[in-house]
Structure formats: structure tokens, C-alpha cells
């Protein structure tokens, strides 16, 4: 199983998950043209995609979904709440899933789980090929017991580290946006993310990436020490998902 990022942050998100001939694009918060360019940069022709998965309807996750789906006739997997926010002209392509029921798309098994975020019915995912488990968690304001349990024991994690509490408090966001981002249905701060890493079983981790890092309210240099301390590892072992470049393919392999 392999994974890569087309970019991560409030200006657009897109994550690739690949197993054998199955390639999923999770979210597309870039224009279709920009997404096509980023896909080719990762060596993927858009026509090779098996399906699109959508975590929730915020623009940084769906901007290019409709055009990509129609242009390449790709099925779009979303919860009923998220699907209701996508346009009706995707009717024939929408495949709704239940946030509490796992399902498969060809070679990949997908465990969706609900998260506290200010969208209609947001979901995040654990992907599996039967041998390895890959967890994705972004756009979540608070950690629930369910999140701890599904992300425990993963072989790789892509984990939101959206903001530093002090930078958000002292930054130039309007007060209402500060409350939204820092609230229980907003985004994870660095301490919440690193505390999650301390609590869950990370003994199998081969890869960890910090995701959805705010360009205004955070710095990789603030994330790395907290993640490294939580995982008792070197800073350079921790990956950072870049807004412009994402990160290149990573593979899960036998130890």
C-alpha cells in the first residue's frame, strides 16, 4: 500500500491511496486543472483513478470534485450529509456510505469514522489492504474515544496539526474565526495532536505526516518537537505535508 499528498492546508487538500490497481483520491480542494497537474507530478493520470472519496463539503476539500468526477466519470464516495452538499448533476456518480460501516473499493478496505467538525456529516478514514492500516485524520476539533480507538495500532498516520494555540490567539484572524478554528468543531492544535500520539498505540508506525498545517497560525518548527517527543523519535523522522507540494509516494513494507 502506498500513499502521497497533492497538497495539504486551508488552500486545498488531496491525498492519494494506492494498492495494486486501485488508486483513490481523497478530497480535491484544488481546481480540476490544478489537481490534474498535481496528479501528473505524482505520476498518476487522472483517468487511472478508481474513485474519489470526500471527507466533507468545505471548499478546501471539494473544489475540484465535481469537474474531476464528470470529466473522468469517477464515482464519488461520500456520506449522505456530505453528498447533499454536492451538486445534483453528480447524481449518477454519487455512492453514499454509512459513517459507521466499513466498505471496500476494489483492493482497498475503508473504515470511515465520524469526527467533530463544523460540516454536515464529516468523516475521516482508516485504509487497509488486509496487511497494513493507514489512518487519515484532519479537520477535527476534538478527539473522541472512537478516534483514539480506530487510529491505535496504525502502520502509518496522516494527522492534522493545524495551529499553535498562541499563534492563533495572537494572529490577525477575526475573533469569530479564532473561536471557530480553535473550537470543539474546528481544527486540531499541535498539543491535541501530539497528545493523541502519546495516548494511542504507535508501535507499528512506519510513517507519520503532520497535515493541514496553517500557514498563518503554525510553523513546522513548532510541530516537530511535539510530535518527536510524543513518539520518542528524531525530528527528521516526521514528515510535513506541504500546501504547495504535498509529499511524494510513501510505501508500507515489512519491517
19 binds Zn ion (CB under 5 A): no
| Minimum CB distance to Zn ion, residue 191 (Å) | 19
| Minimum CB distance to Zn ion, residue 8 (Å) | 9
139 binds Zn ion (CB under 5 A): yes
Closer to Zn ion at the Cβ: 58 or 178? 58
**Which residues, 62 to 81, sit near Zn ion by CB under 5 A?**
none
155 binds Zn ion (CB under 5 A): no
| Minimum CB distance to Zn ion, residue 201 (Å) | 27
> Measured between alpha carbons, how far apart are the two ends of the chain, in Å?
14
| Minimum CB distance to Zn ion, residue 58 (Å) | 4
CA distance linking residue 79 with residue 54, whole number of Å = 8
60 binds Zn ion (CB under 5 A): yes
| Minimum CB distance to Zn ion, residue 212 (Å) | 6
Question: What is the size of the binding site for Zn ion (CB under 5 A)?
Answer: 3
Residue pointed to by grid coordinates 460540516? 119
> Mask of contacts with Zn ion, 26-55, x by CB under 5 A?
------------------------------
| Minimum CB distance to Zn ion, residue 55 (Å) | 8
Closer to Zn ion at the Cβ: 139 or 164? 139
Of these, 58, 133, 163, 178, which contacts Zn ion (CB under 5 A)? Answer: 58
Closer to Zn ion at the Cβ: 129 or 192? 192
Cβ–Cβ under 8 Å, residues 78 and 97: yes
160 binds Zn ion (CB under 5 A): no
Interface with Zn ion (CB under 5 A): 58, 60, 139
Amino acid at each position: 500500500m502506498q500513499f502521497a499528498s497533492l497538497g495539504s492546508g486551508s488552500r486545498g487538500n488531496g491525498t492519494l491511496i494506492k494498492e495494486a490497481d486501485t488508486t483513490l483520491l481523497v478530497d480535491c480542494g484544488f481546481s480540476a486543472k490544478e489537481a490534474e497537474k498535481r496528479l501528473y507530478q505524482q505520476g498518476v493520470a487522472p483517468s487511472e483513478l478508481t474513485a474519489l472519496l470526500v471527507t466533507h463539503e468545505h471548499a478546501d476539500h471539494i473544489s475540484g470534485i465535481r469537474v474531476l468526477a464528470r470529466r473522468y466519470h469517477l464515482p464519488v464516495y461520500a456520506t449522505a450529509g456530505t453528498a447533499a452538499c454536492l451538486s445534483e448533476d453528480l447524481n449518477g456518480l454519487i455512492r453514499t456510505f454509512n459513517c459507521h460501516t466499513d466498505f471496500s473499493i476494489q483492493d482497498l478496505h475503508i473504515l470511515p469514522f465520524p469526527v467533530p467538525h463544523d460540516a454536515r456529516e464529516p468523516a475521516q478514514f482508516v485504509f487497509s489492504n488486509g496487511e497494513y492500516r493507514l489512518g487519515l485524520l484532519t479537520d477535527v476539533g476534538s478527539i473522541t474515544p472512537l478516534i483514539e480507538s480506530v487510529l491505535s495500532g496504525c502502520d502509518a498516520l496522516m494527522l492534522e496539526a493545524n495551529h499553535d494555540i498562541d499563534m492563533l490567539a495572537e494572529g490577525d484572524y477575526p475573533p469569530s474565526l479564532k473561536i471557530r478554528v480553535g473550537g470543539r468543531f474546528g481544527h486540531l492544535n499541535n498539543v491535541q495532536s501530539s497528545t493523541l500520539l502519546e495516548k494511542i498505540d504507535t508501535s507499528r508506525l512506519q510513517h507519520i505526516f503532520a497535515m493541514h498545517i496553517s500557514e498563518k497560525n503554525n510553523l513546522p518548527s513548532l510541530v516537530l518537537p511535539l510530535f518527536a517527543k510524543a513518539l520518542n523519535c528524531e525530528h527528521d523522522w516526521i514528515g510535513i505535508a506541504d500546501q504547495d507540494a504535498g509529499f511524494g509516494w510513501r510505501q508500507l513494507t515489512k519491517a
